[in-house]
Amino acid sequence: MNIVVLVKQVPDTWAERKLDATDKTLDRASVDVVMNEIDEYAVEEALRIQADQGGEVTIVSMAPDRGVETIRKALSMGADKAVHLSDPALHGSDAVQTSYALAKVLGTLEYDLVIAGSEATDSRMAIMTPLLAERLGQPQLSGARKVTVDGGTVRIERQTDNGYDVVEASTPAIVSVVEKINEPRYPSFKGIMAAKKKPLTTLTLADAGIEADRVGLASAPSQVVEFSNKPPRQAGQIVKDEGDGGVKVAEYLASQKLV
Amino acid sequence: MPAVLRSLPTPEAADLLELTRDLVDRELAPRVAAFEAAGEFPREVFRTLGKAGLLGLAYPEEQGGGGQPYEVYLQVLEELARGWSAVAVGVSVHTLSCFPVAQFGTPQQQERWLPDMLGGELLGAYCLSESHSGSDAAALSTRAVRDGDAYLVNGTKAWVTHGGHADFYNLMVRTGQAGPKGISCLLAAADTPGLQPLPPEKKMGMRSSPTASVLLEDARVPADRLLAAEGEGFTIAMSALDGGRLGIAACAVGVAQAALDVAVDYARERRQFGQVIADFQGLSFLLADMATQVEAARALYLSAARRRDAGQPYGPQASMAKLFCTDTAMRVTTDAVQVLGGYGYVEDFPAERFLREAKIMQIFEGTNQVQRLVIGRSLTRP
Ligand SMILES: Cc1cc2nc3c(=O)[nH]c(=O)nc-3n(C[C@H](O)[C@H](O)[C@H](O)COP(=O)(O)OP(=O)(O)OC[C@H]3O[C@@H](n4cnc5c(N)ncnc54)[C@H](O)[C@@H]3O)c2cc1C
């Protein structure tokens, strides 16, 4: 069972995230970056399936050069090798273009499963796995809180609002996972040391057979036209309780259509 | 909390410290207050640290350790103590408990036990003190008598850190004459028949680190669990303590740093007389003195550690570090309570806990009087 895990480097969720004023893309340079949190669960799930079934776990990440830090973290958790798609021409690519580029990279690899986090904390579109499934013509199993693999069949429990659905497909398939699925391990000190020696292939557009005019900000199908900063937080409204505090709070909530 | 600026010898040491801070932020800091309040031992936290490779850092890779110099291992301990000093002390005691077999065990003994000890599967305890022999440890009276292929052990070891939770106990026992030369070291398993931990002590602080007496009633310890020869036990115990004292020194600096962090944060927020209290020179001088002492203490334990790493004698320097760092922790934590005023004296803030935690560090692994004794002897009877 060979598994590819898609890993994205994102700005630290706790940092103040900004758009770059010049080209309206995400400012990745001025903030701390981390592995997208749900991707840690994806790596963990791949490692668990591997422990059970053997095979190799390959990390795939499209990111600027700095993305190496995040890839190393995934390797230090225990993945075997990594492919890093990194090319200045990718800057500003939107989700549709990214799915094209990632599909090209996946096309260079042999796998039974692709596992990814269900969404990234920066864009929050939750659309990468469906786009990839469409491009690759492979089944998509999304929102998995449990994954079982049996021969050429992969079965998941898909988290729903009031329970779960059982969904099944034949491999190769693309699975996205939610946080309920497992508890990601910490890299061990030995894992960190070992990660430095694991194979990491860096691909440019040409290496992956990606056509330059189909990626990047200039040809992006979706464009950020305008943005403005979040308005500063308004001072709260203080309700003085003169015996009617409860009523006033209820009225306020009703006026805001919260109750 | 801002990261402490450290000079580390290798990039791998920097990675290790980053891993440690991650573990502190995500696994230690969220739990410490509740576990301390409940007096509960966080066995799971030690498993997590073991899996991450933090329970055997100072031992060679060939033995299953992390191959790190003391200079690095101690800074990891300091960071752990900054988040949860009872856990850091536990890691230090565990590391100390692995020393006898790692240093004095036969290859067979090492092969049999070390991988699980250093990997963190097995948690260790070190049993030297008894109720009537604390500072005068060589006066211990627990007896071990050879009986066929085992030793029959009778007596009570006191103050055993991890007592009741440890998987193995280094027992310093008397097999011969009175005094240090009649002492031997047995590496007893927790399930040794006749080895019975008593209920834990009720302590002033560090309540999530269990301390208990261990009763030995005709406890049968197989003779192949004797480390080195009979009569070598006291030498083993003392050489383990040299490293252990550096561990406590690092833990003390971690607590002092934590107290300083809390004091600085508080002083920058709290307003009196229309300004933040940090802007009163009288208070900022207090903070400046605290920070200076923490920095000096860190430098002193690192200096002793580098001697050890270079293979130089470091016993007196370890005692100096233990003495200075723990006295510093006592002063700095006391001052931190002062900075917080009344809020320093209540459990809503961690300052009072830091003060209670610092106190024990002046006592265990040799009281600070005993450290002075060691230092004094090294000067007058070199
Ligand atoms: C929380 C905790 C955990 C511990 N963990 C362990 C453990 O894991 N393993 C273990 O073996 N022990 C452990 N100990 C025991 C600890 O090491 C002893 O308490 C310590 O060595 C002091 O011994 P004592 O309490 O008998 O005090 P005493 O030796 O009776 O000392 C009483 C006072 O007399 C002073 N004094 C004694 N002799 C001299 C001297 N020659 N000159 C000047 N002053 C002197 C001491 O400094 C002290 O102030 C632990 C203790 C505690 C409280």
- For residue B203, which atom of ligand 1 is closest to its CA? 1
- Closest-CA distance of chain A to residue B217, Å: 41
Q: State whether B146 and B18 are in the same domain.
A: no
Residue B352 lies in a domain: yes
What local confidence, expressed as pLDDT, does residue A20 receive? Answer: 87
- What totals of helices (H) and strands (E) does chain B contain, helices first? 11, 10
| Domain carrying residue A91 | 3-219
Residue A8 lies in a domain: yes
Given B178, B211, B232, which residue is the final one in a domain? B232
Q: State whether B363 and B244 are in the same domain.
A: yes
Q: Are B94 and B321 contacting, i.e. CB atoms less than 8 angstroms apart?
A: no
Given B86, B118, B150, which residue is the final one in a domain? B118
Q: What is the CATH number of the domain that holds A131?
A: 3.40.50.620
Q: What is the CATH number of the domain that holds B291?
A: 1.20.140.10
User: How many whole angstroms separate alpha carbon B180 and alpha carbon B30?
Assistant: 44
**pLDDT over 80 (residue B1):** no
Give the total number of structural domains in chain A: 1
Of B41, B92, B126, B159, which is best to mutate to test ligand 1, by the most ligand atoms within 8 angstroms of its C-beta? B159
For residue B324, name the pLDDT band (cuts at 50, 70, 90). Answer: very high
User: How many whole angstroms separate alpha carbon B359 and alpha carbon B373?
Assistant: 19
Q: State whether B221 and B245 are in the same domain.
A: no
Residue A11 lies in a domain: yes
Contacts of A3 (CB under 8 A, 6+ apart): A46, A49, A50, A55, A56, A57, A58, A111, A112, A113, A114, A115
Contacts of A188 in chain B (CB under 8 A): 51-53
**B198: exposed, middle or buried (Cβ count in 10 Å: 0-12, 13-18, 19+):** middle
What residue type is A222 in one-letter code?
Answer: S
| Domain carrying residue B101 | 11-118
User: How many whole angstroms separate alpha carbon A187 and alpha carbon B235?
Assistant: 38
Residue B3 lies in a domain: no
Q: State whether B228 and B239 are in the same domain.
A: no
Give the total number of structural domains in chain B: 3
Q: State whether B241 and B180 are in the same domain.
A: no
How many A×B Cβ pairs under 8 Å?
28
The predicted-structure confidence for B174-211, as pLDDT tens digits, reads as follows: 999 999 999 999 999 999 999 999 999 999 999 999 99
A192 vs B: CB within 8 A: yes
For residue B301, name the pLDDT band (cuts at 50, 70, 90). Answer: very high
- Closest-CA distance of chain B to residue A89, Å: 31
Distances (CA, A) of B155 to A238, B180, B217, B242: 68, 17, 7, 26
Residue A52 lies in a domain: yes
Residue B6 lies in a domain: no
Q: State whether B109 and B184 are in the same domain.
A: no
Output the CA B300–ligand 1 centroid distance in Å.
Answer: 23
Q: State whether B351 and B300 are in the same domain.
A: yes
Q: State whether B142 and B222 are in the same domain.
A: yes
A188 vs B: CB within 8 A: yes
**The complex's ipTM?**
0.82
Output the CA B364–ligand 1 centroid distance in Å.
Answer: 6
Of B198, B360, B364, B372, which is best to mutate to test ligand 1, by the most ligand atoms within 8 angstroms of its C-beta? B364
Q: Are B52 and B323 contacting, i.e. CB atoms less than 8 angstroms apart?
A: no
Q: State whether B222 and B241 are in the same domain.
A: no
Q: What is the CATH number of the domain that holds B131?
A: 2.40.110.10
Given B118, B134, B149, which residue is the final one in a domain? B118
Q: State whether B242 and B266 are in the same domain.
A: yes
- Which are the catalytic amino acids of B? 365
Q: State whether B227 and B244 are in the same domain.
A: no
**pLDDT over 80 (residue A54):** yes
> Residues near ligand 1 with C-beta < 6 Å?
B 93, 126-129, 134-135, 159-161, 203, 211, 360, 363-367, 369-370, 373
Contacts of B66 in chain A (CB under 8 A): 189-190
**pLDDT over 80 (residue B146):** yes
- Which of A35, A75, A186, A190 is the best substitution to test chain B (most B C-beta atoms within 10 A)? A186
Residue B70 lies in a domain: yes
Residue B1 lies in a domain: no
The predicted-structure confidence for A156-212, as pLDDT tens digits, reads as follows: 999 899 999 999 999 999 999 999 999 999 999 999 999 999 999 999 999 999 999
